[in-house]
């Protein structure tokens, strides 16, 4: 197991956002998370990447316990060193890219491997150029983010995450901030990563994409995982009424 | 007094004015950053003291603050410090300008989108790496126009040192004008301040240009 999250609970004040979430991701697996807006998808990714702390539950990366229930039943986080180690396992691609505007494309990709992972400069450079090439951005290495289109910026953000050699990549609605004509180029590179057997979790509203590329689909609603299974199970033969409604709603809306 | 002598005498005043200007910036620009960070401290006592300090510095005239620093040690503690005039001036200027710079830094830091912190955190940057590599360079670019305004105000504010009878350009202009019944010293002082401000504006514009490689 690359990632295991068990019985996760998370609230903001009196608002219970994640009510009892359990799911896991195997090596090489591509998981899509779908569900209506406000159902807690982003919060789940933010908890998995330690941008938010969970109230209760278990988080394991690469079979290492990072969060366990404490004596009082509340979530108990490991020490800093172990969390740092776990952080090295994942990358996150944000809806709003969050590139560093004062760094060139190449520096955006190289800085964390050099500064955080303290790797050798020549090696990092070589790898960064390889990743940028894969993202179709080799000729943009010296550009600054403001000079790029949204689709190009998001591909730089993906390159930045890949350059850390993560075990698992999280995407939070990677195409939602893009003009419709630019979503295709970003979905294509994500598809390419799926084909290369990267382990990933993709929150998305692009239903045909989720159906086509993922091995597992998770449907979330109001803080619960309502249903999960293969794309065929969830999209073509949903068991739960709520899933049926959501999926047919999308079909009526889009086609 | 010939024009030449007048100019030489005032030239020394110009050097003193420039000295106040440079020392104030060297002290208050970094001190302002320390104050801005302390103001965000989670310790309520620390941030409370800093807030009071900032509001006193901004809410009372600099001229009054200079008098307090100069005469305070004697009237409050009976302390007579030798050669206290110049240190008192620098202390007054630095503490006053640091408060203004702190507020400028704070507004710059608060204007940074939270996504920059989150991206850095997920990539594994430590808090101080995040601040010095990601946040601070962008904050500096954002606040340069406000800093320019403050620095130009400082050029003119240096004349307040005349309150403590320090022989900078403005004091000398007044003295020489009175003793020689001449208007010329004021013209010289005016030209000096104007040229100094022009130089500052030019310098700041160059710095802003250096930061214009990104948006
Ligand atoms: N930092 C926060 N403070 C308070 N409420 C939040 C916060 N983040 C998210 N929420 C709330 O949690 C719920 C789930 O949000 P989110 O995880 O963003 O849903 P989704 O990504 O599925 O649209 C929403 O009602 C949202 O308003
Ligand atoms: Mg969301």
Position B80 scores a pLDDT of 85
Give how far the C-alpha of residue B11 lies from the chain's centroid of Cα atoms, to the nearest Å.
22
Distances in Å between the alpha carbon of B141 and those of A107, B83, B132, B213, B214?
19, 39, 13, 11, 10
Write down the mean pLDDT value for chain B: 94
Position A203 scores a pLDDT of 98
Position A255 scores a pLDDT of 43
A46 close to ligand 1 (CB < 6 Angstrom)? no
Q: With a threshold of 0.90, tell me whether the complex ipTM lies above it.
A: yes
Element (H, E) at B139: helix B136-157
Q: The sheet that has A168-172: what strands, in order across it?
A: A90-93, A168-172, A199-203, A30-34, A216-221, A224-229
Task: Provide the shortest C-alpha distance from residue A185 to chain B (in Å).
Answer: 22
Residue B133 per-residue DSSP state: I
Confidence band of B112 (pLDDT split at 50, 70, 90): very high
Residues of B in contact with A156 (CB under 8 A): none
Position B22 scores a pLDDT of 97
The candidate with the shortest Cα–Cα distance to A40, out of A88, A8, A71, is A8
The candidate with the shortest Cα–Cα distance to A221, out of A245, A248, A197, A188, is A245
The candidate with the shortest Cα–Cα distance to B141, out of B100, B117, B105, is B105
Contact A100, B116 (CB under 8 A): yes
- How many CB pairs below 8 Å do chains A and B form together? 55
How far is residue B30's CA from residue A173's CA, in Å, rounded to a whole number? 41
Confidence band of B79 (pLDDT split at 50, 70, 90): confident
Residues of B in contact with A115 (CB under 8 A): 125, 129, 133
Q: Taking the CB of residue B119, how many other CB atoms lie within 10 A of it?
A: 26
- Give the model confidence (pLDDT) of A65-92 as tens digits: 999 999 998 999 999 999 999 999 999 9
Q: Which of A87, A90, A98 sits opposite B119 (nearest CB)?
A: A98
Instruction: Provide the phi-psi class of B67: left if phi over 0, else alpha when psi is between -120 and 50, else beta.
Output: alpha
Confidence band of B56 (pLDDT split at 50, 70, 90): very high
Residues contacting residue B141 through CB under 8 Å, at least 6 positions apart: A102, B211
How far is residue A158's CA from residue A146's CA, in Å, rounded to a whole number? 17
Write down the mean pLDDT value for chain A: 96
The candidate with the shortest Cα–Cα distance to A44, out of A10, A68, A1, A16, is A10
Position A252 scores a pLDDT of 64
User: Hey, which residues does A31 pair with through a beta bridge?
Assistant: A201, A216
> Per the CB < 8 Å rule, is A51 touching B123?
no
Distances in Å between the alpha carbon of A159 and those of A162, A178, B209?
5, 17, 30
Q: Which two tokens stand for residue A247?
A: 């999926």
How far is residue A128's CA from residue A117's CA, in Å, rounded to a whole number? 14
pLDDT at A208 over 60: yes
Q: Tell me the mean pLDDT in the region A31-51.
A: 97
The candidate with the shortest Cα–Cα distance to B3, out of B194, B196, B182, B195, is B182
Position A253 scores a pLDDT of 57
Contact A77, A66 (CB under 8 A): yes
How far is residue B158's CA from residue A40's CA, in Å, rounded to a whole number? 58
Position A218 scores a pLDDT of 98
A48 close to ligand 1 (CB < 6 Angstrom)? no
Position A109 scores a pLDDT of 98
Element (H, E) at A134: helix A121-134
Q: Taking the CB of residue A107, how many other CB atoms lie within 10 A of it?
A: 16
- Give the model confidence (pLDDT) of A128-180 as tens digits: 999 999 999 999 999 999 999 999 999 999 999 999 999 999 999 999 999 99
> Which ligand has the minimum distance to the alpha carbon of residue A37?
1
Q: Tell me the mean pLDDT in the region A23-47.
A: 97
- Give the model confidence (pLDDT) of B149-170 as tens digits: 999 999 999 999 988 888 889 8
Q: Tell me the mean pLDDT in the region A98-126.
A: 98
Residues of B in contact with A146 (CB under 8 A): 214-215
The candidate with the shortest Cα–Cα distance to A49, out of A31, A66, A30, is A66
């Amino acid at each position: 197991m690359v990632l295991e999250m068990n019985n996760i609970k998370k609230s903001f004040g009196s608002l219970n956002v994640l009510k009892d979430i359990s799911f896991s991701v195997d090596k090489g697996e591509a998981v899509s998370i779908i569900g209506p807006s406000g159902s807690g998808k982003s919060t789940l990714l933010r908890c998995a990447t330690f941008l938010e702390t969970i109230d209760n539950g278990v988080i394991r990366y690469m079979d290492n316990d990072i969060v366990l229930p404490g004596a009082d039943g509340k979530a108990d986080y490991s020490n800093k060193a172990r969390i740092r180690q776990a952080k090295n396992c994942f990358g996150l691609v944000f809806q709003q890219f969050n590139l560093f505007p004062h760094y060139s494309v190449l520096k955006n990709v190289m800085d964390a491997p050099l500064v955080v992972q303290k790797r050798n400069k020549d090696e990092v450079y070589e790898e960064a150029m390889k990743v940028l090439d894969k993202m179709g951005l080799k000729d943009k290495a010296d550009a600054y983010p403001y000079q790029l289109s949204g689709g190009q910026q998001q591909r730089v953000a993906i390159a930045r995450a890949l350059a850390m050699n993560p075990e698992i990549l999280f995407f939070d609605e990677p195409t939602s901030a893009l003009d419709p004509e630019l979503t295709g180029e970003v979905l294509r590179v994500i598809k390419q990563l799926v084909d290369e057997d990267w382990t990933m979790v993709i929150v998305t509203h692009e239903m045909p994409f989720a159906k086509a590329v993922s091995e597992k689909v998770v449907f979330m609603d109001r803080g619960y995982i309502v249903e999960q299974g293969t794309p065929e199970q969830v999209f073509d033969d949903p068991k739960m009424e709520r899933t049926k409604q959501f999926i047919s709603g999308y079909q009526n809306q889009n086609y | 007094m010939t024009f030449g002598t007048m100019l030489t005498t005032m030239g020394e005043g110009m050097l003193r004015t420039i000295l106040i200007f440079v020392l104030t910036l060297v002290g208050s620009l970094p001190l302002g950053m320390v104050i801005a960070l302390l103001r965000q401290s989670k310790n309520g006592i620390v941030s409370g003291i800093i807030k009071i300090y900032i509001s006193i510095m901004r809410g009372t005239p600099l001229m009054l603050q200079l008098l307090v620093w100069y005469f305070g040690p004697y009237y409050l503690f009976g302390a007579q410090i030798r050669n206290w005039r110049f240190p008192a001036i620098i202390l007054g200027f630095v503490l006053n300008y640091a408060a203004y710079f702190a507020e400028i830094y704070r507004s710059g830091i608060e204007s940074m989108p939270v996504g920059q912190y989150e991206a850095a955190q997920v990539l594994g940057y430590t808090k101080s790496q995040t601040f010095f590599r990601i946040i601070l360079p962008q904050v500096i670019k954002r606040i340069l126009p406000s800093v320019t305004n403050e620095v130009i105000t400082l050029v003119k504010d240096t004349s307040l040192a005349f309150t403590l009878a320090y022989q900078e350009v403005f004091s000398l202009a007044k003295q020489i004008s009175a003793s020689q019944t001449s208007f010329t010293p004021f013209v010289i002082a005016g030209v000096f301040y104007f040229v100094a401000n022009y130089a500052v504006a030019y310098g700041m514009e160059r710095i802003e240009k250096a930061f214009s490689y990104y948006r």
